[in-house]
Amino acid sequence: MIGRHFIQMKRRPQMALIHTVSIALLKKLGLHCRFQSTGRPTAPLGSRILSDPSRVFEHNMWDHMQWTPEQEALARQKAEENSSVKVSIEEQVKYDKDACSYWNEFYRAHQNKFFKDRRWLFMEFPELLPHRTHECNEVVLEPEKTSILFSPVCSQMQTKLDSVNKTHAEQAVETVEKAESVQRTRKTNDDMNLEHKGQDWKWMDRQKNQGYFPGIDFTFKIFEVGCGAGNSVFPILSKIRDSSTFLYCCDFSTHAVHLVTCHPLYNASQCHAFVHDMCDEATSTYPFPDGSIDVILLVFVLSSIHPERMQMVINRLSKLLKPGGMILFRDYGRYDLSQLRLKKVTQVMRNSMTNVPENHDDCRCLFGNFYVRGDGTCVYFFTNEEIARIFISAGLKEVQNVMDRRLQVNRKKKVAMHRVWVQCKYQKPFTKDLH
């Protein structure tokens, strides 16, 4: 048994090498294969499970927390209490009308210091990196070619692989060098275009007439809606550097977009940031055509939009996707800590805000599970069913829809807090899927 286990372990690196070279040979021979990036991590949404309650303060976060019926009922009761005081209609109109100014003030006050960079994006959303190695992707051949990849590697095949391995490696190096040269040239040209943009407006106008738009030459396009100060933008840019991926990002806060474009890591040759109000589609346009985006990133954004406009926003975003493109979504879930800690503001507290308890947000309910915070920004808390209804009504196909329940721990203060988020993936069907 030990000998057999040793042999299997010894063969694993060899099989991995054979698998890599096999894929290279198939591509070399012109056989069509496609890489799918829809595979999830080995343990979706984390793998740190709290099995022993006495160890709760050993880590900052525990994954896949299960709520008891009593906890669920208590959370529901707490949310109902927080929703018992409603904001007047006049104030609701004010918060909705002035939403942009409230978010501008938020980013002026906090700059880029409030949110942390979302480096977890690539673990939960591997679709952001479509050209990864086979270790992170599922390799799928077209039906008529599958027998080559999945059949046993015979001696003739092994000999052929050995003979082309060196040649293929040399050609790969040459290809990479050419790609880098093209990328450097493209970056230089883009820098020149930006430098002379004001002087050579006629040339730019001619390009627009010919269907030009930023990122037109890139094969894979990502669009982040509600980029804020760039907490997703810059982790993504660091990953897609020197690749064929282009990133668009927008926010309806002009100050937030200014923070992104002034950041030292902002790269105008591979990213285009612009001001855009998703709720005002009548007067706003996109710098790219419909059906041109591969991935739309929608992280903690939809919750800030008035619920009556959410369906319109998702309907519009679905038109931007290519067939097979995906919307990657993450937002606040029902009964999250941030909902339960929102204290209702009574009439007495309104008249004398010094009576508001410490460490509690001054927040009132607009209606249902839609609240306004003390700084004037709004937030909604979703259920899986609500998200499914919105995205499926927009003609998208559900790939993932899960409730992410975690236990966040303050190890210094010995406090444990329940966090609830909704994470989803919805795909625009191919033409054959529609039929």
**pLDDT greater than 90 at residue 94:** no
For residue 399, give the amino acid letter: V
Q: What are the residue boundaries of the structural domains of the chain, listed by start? A: 2-38+137-190, 53-135+211-434
- pLDDT tens-digit series, residues 377-428: 889 999 999 999 999 999 999 999 999 999 999 998 899 999 999 999 999 9
Round to whole Å and give the CA distance between 35 and 218: 18
CB-neighbour burial class of residue 189 (10 A; exposed 0-12, middle 13-18, buried 19+):
exposed
Mapped onto helix, strand or coil, the DSSP state of residue 416 is strand
422: closest CA among 204, 124, 146? 124
Residue with token string 């990122």: 215
Report the percent of the chain where pLDDT is more than 90.
40
- Average pLDDT for residues 67-92, to the nearest whole number? 88
Q: How many CB atoms lie within 10 A of CB 71?
A: 13
Are 313 and 302 a contacting pair, CB within 8 Å?
Answer: yes
Query: Using one digit for the tens of pLDDT, what is the confidence trace for 129-146?
Result: 876 533 333 333 333 333
Q: How far apart, in whole angstroms, are the C-alpha atoms of residue 318 and residue 324?
A: 11
Whole-number pLDDT of residue 146: 33
DSSP category for residue 333? B
Q: How far is CA 288 from CA 246, 285, 302, 430, in A?
A: 12, 9, 21, 21
Beta strand 33-36 pairing with 220-225? unpaired
Max mean pLDDT among 15-29, 161-175, 249-263 falls in 249-263
Residue 185, pLDDT score: 55
The backbone torsions φ and ψ at residue 433, rounded to the nearest 5 degrees and listed phi first, read -70, -35
DSSP class of residue 225 equals E
Q: With bands split at pLDDT 50, 70 and 90, how would you rate the model's confidence at 151?
A: very low
The correct CATH number of 53-135+211-434 out of 3.40.50.300, 3.20.20.150, 3.40.50.150, 3.40.140.10 is 3.40.50.150
At 48, the pLDDT band (50, 70, 90 cuts) reads confident
Q: How far is the C-alpha of 262 from the C-alpha of 265, rounded, in Å?
A: 8
Rounded to whole angstroms, how far apart are CA atoms 414 and 38? Answer: 38
Residue 150's identity, in one-letter code, is F
SS3 call for 191: helix
> What is the rounded distance in angstroms from the CA atom of residue 164 to the CA atom of residue 429?
39
Q: How many CA atoms lie within 13 A of 346 on its CB side?
A: 7
- Please check the confidence at residue 1 and state whether its pLDDT lies above 70: no
Reported as a single tens digit per residue, the pLDDT across 235-263 is 999 999 888 999 999 998 999 999 999 99
**Residue 7: strand, helix, or coil:** helix
Over 50: is that where the pLDDT of 433 sits? yes
What length does the chain have?
435
* N-term to C-term CA, the chain: 53
Whole-number percent of the chain with pLDDT over 70:
65
Predicted pLDDT of residue 407? 93
pLDDT band at residue 291 under the 50/70/90 scheme = very high
Q: Is residue 359 packed enough to be buried (19+ CB in 10 Å), middle (13-18) or exposed (0-12)?
A: exposed
